[in-house]
């Protein structure tokens, strides 16, 4: 199977290219320099030339705080650009897998969000990702999967564990928010699940995130403990950070797709795999 991956040099994109190759499929990896998804004619040309069976759109504006002051730019990549990809894939007879986010939810629920829960994004980034979901659904009806995931970490990009490891090696004390709860997801685990989905496509929205849930504070404590650092992690509050973009207080993802949906290992397992591979040195 030929799989075209946009945003292929991003954190998830890199692991997906490797997972496609390892599964014996043929990756066609396109970086932003190869293909800017906001350029509709270029997207049509690239997908038509490659003749893929599946297109996975990993390209995105991922600067959550920056999106607040550049919402039109974020929307043009995450919304309009995603639509270009889906329409071009449908025209070429390919299946589209679009990566979306837990930030489409407002976080007011107290139990895990399933696919049919109403989206109500709090931030410009969340609104742009929801716009992308709608563009993809309209552009490739009956031929797309929208994968919502959350709190990604991996070797191929700056991420929370890398930041905590750096800070914990420099300081005796760290404060990390405990009033945001979600599902940390190792990109290598997500990438494998995306290959499974490409082999057995599911139409519509699917939630795929590391099993279990925790706060950023819990996550940081686990990272510091795994690394054996002597750093005291203290619980903090989101309001004290005063970041431009609001985040959902609770964005744990679960699935109502039953056995159709791939199941990811737990977030602790993902963290151990990330750290065991020595990937922390990559940053």
Report the residue from 19, 85, 99, 214 that binds ligand NAP according to the rule CB under 6 A: 99
CB-nearer residue toward ligand NAP: 231 or 262: 262
Number of residues that bind ligand NAP (CB under 6 A): 27
E strand or H helix at 103, and its extent?
A: none
Give start and end residues of each alpha helix (H) in the chain. Answer: 11-22, 40-50, 66-69, 71-75, 82-91, 124-139, 160-170, 187-199, 216-227, 267-276
When binding is defined by CB under 6 A, the residue of 25, 32, 109, 268 that contacts ligand NAP is 32
Min CB(173)–ligand NAP separation in Å? 25
Element (H, E) at 158: none
Catalytic residue among 125, 217, 250, 274: 125
Query: Residue 100: CB partners within 8 Å, gap ≥ 6?
Result: 129, 130, 132, 133, 146, 147, 148, 149, 205
Q: Has 250 been annotated as catalytic?
A: no
| Token pair listed for 1 | 């199977």
CB closer to ligand NAP out of 190 and 224: 190
Rg (CA), the chain: 18
Q: Which residue is nearest to ligand NAP (CB)?
A: 10
Query: Is 161 one of the binding residues for ligand NAP (CB under 6 A)?
Result: no
**Adjacent-strand bridge partners of 54:** 3, 95
Q: Does 152 bind ligand NAP (CB under 6 A)?
A: yes
**SS3 at position 37:** coil
Residue 155 in the binding site for ligand NAP (CB under 6 A): no
Q: Which of 21, 23, 36, 175 is the binder for ligand NAP (CB under 6 A)?
A: 36
Show the site string, 251-270: x = touches ligand NAP by CB under 6 A, - = not. --------------------
176 binds ligand NAP (CB under 6 A): no
Helix 11-22 / helix 187-199 crossing angle, nearest 10 deg:
50
> Which of 3, 4, 10, 205 is close enough to bind ligand NAP by CB under 6 A?
10
Point out which span in 4-12, 198-206, 255-263, 273-281 binds ligand NAP (CB under 6 A): 4-12
Which of 266, 156, 161 is closest to 209 using CA atoms? 266
Q: Which of 9, 180, 222, 251 binds ligand NAP (CB under 6 A)?
A: 9
The 10 Å Cβ neighbour count of residue 179 is 15
What backbone phi and psi angles, to 5 degrees, belong to 233? -100, 120
The answer to whether residue 27 forms part of the interface with ligand NAP (CB under 6 A) is no
Which lies closer to ligand NAP via its Cβ, residue 130 or residue 231?
Answer: 130
Instruction: State how far the Cα of 56 lies from the Cα of 147, in Å rounded to an integer.
Output: 10
CB-nearer residue toward ligand NAP: 159 or 231: 159
List residues near ligand NAP by CB under 6 A: 6-7, 9-13, 32, 35-38, 58-62, 77, 81, 99, 101, 129, 149-152, 157
Annotated active-site positions, please? Answer: 125
């Amino acid at each position: 199977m030929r799989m075209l991956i946009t945003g292929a040099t991003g954190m998830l994109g890199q692991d997906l290219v490797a997972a496609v190759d390892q599964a014996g499929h043929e990756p066609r990896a396109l970086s932003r320099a190869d293909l800017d998804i906001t350029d509709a004619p270029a997207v049509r040309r690239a997908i038509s030339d490659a003749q893929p069976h599946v297109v996975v759109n990993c390209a995105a504006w991922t600067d959550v705080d920056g999106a607040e002051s550049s919402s039109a730019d974020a929307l043009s990549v995450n919304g309009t650009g995603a639509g270009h990809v889906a329409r071009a894939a449908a025209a070429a007879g390919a299946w589209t897998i679009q990566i979306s986010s837990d930030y489409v939810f407002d976080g007011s629920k107290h139990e895990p969000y399933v696919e049919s829960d109403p989206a109500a994004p709090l931030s410009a980034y969340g609104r742009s990702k929801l716009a992308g979901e709608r563009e993809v659904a309209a552009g490739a009806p009956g031929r797309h999967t929208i994968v919502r995931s959350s709190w990604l970490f991996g070797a191929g990009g700056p991420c929370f564990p890398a930041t905590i490891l750096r800070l914990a090696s420099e300081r005796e004390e760290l404060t990390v928010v405990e009033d945001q709860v979600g599902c940390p997801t190792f990109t290598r685990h997500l990438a494998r699940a995306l290959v499974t989905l490409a082999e057995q496509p599911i139409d519509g929205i699917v939630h795929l995130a590391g099993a279990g849930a925790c706060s950023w504070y819990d996550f940081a404590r686990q990272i510091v403990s795994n690394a054996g650092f002597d750093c005291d992690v203290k619980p903090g509050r989101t309001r004290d950070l005063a970041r431009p973009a609001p985040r959902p207080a609770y964005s744990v993802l679960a699935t109502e797709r039953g056995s159709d949906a791939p199941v990811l290992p737990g977030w602790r397992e993902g963290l151990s795999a990330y750290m065991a591979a020595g990937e922390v040195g990559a940053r």
